[in-house]
Amino acid sequence: MQPFVDALAELGQAQADTTGFVTLPTWARILERHFPPDLPDPGCTTE
């Protein structure tokens, strides 16, 4: 639950810092920071 709260707080701060709307790239950067994608491990084999 905490990553969601942290992301929401950062998005709220980003909105407060801008005169318009937070742009999609900014949303994506914030969300990736708090919810990084699960990338495959190159050293892991499935065999």
Rounded distance between C-alpha atoms, residue 30 and residue 36, angstroms: 10
pTM across the whole model = 0.67
Q: How far is CA 19 from the centre of its chain?
A: 21
Angle, alpha carbons 12-33-14 (nearest 5°): 20
Section 2-10 average pLDDT:
91
What DSSP assignment string belongs to 1-47?
-HHHHHHHHHHHHHHHHSSSPPPHHHHHHHHHHHS---PPPTT----
Q: How far is CA 34 from the centre of its chain?
A: 4
Residue range 12-26, pLDDT digits in tens: 999 998 888 899 999
pLDDT band at 37 (very low <50, low <70, confident <90, very high): confident
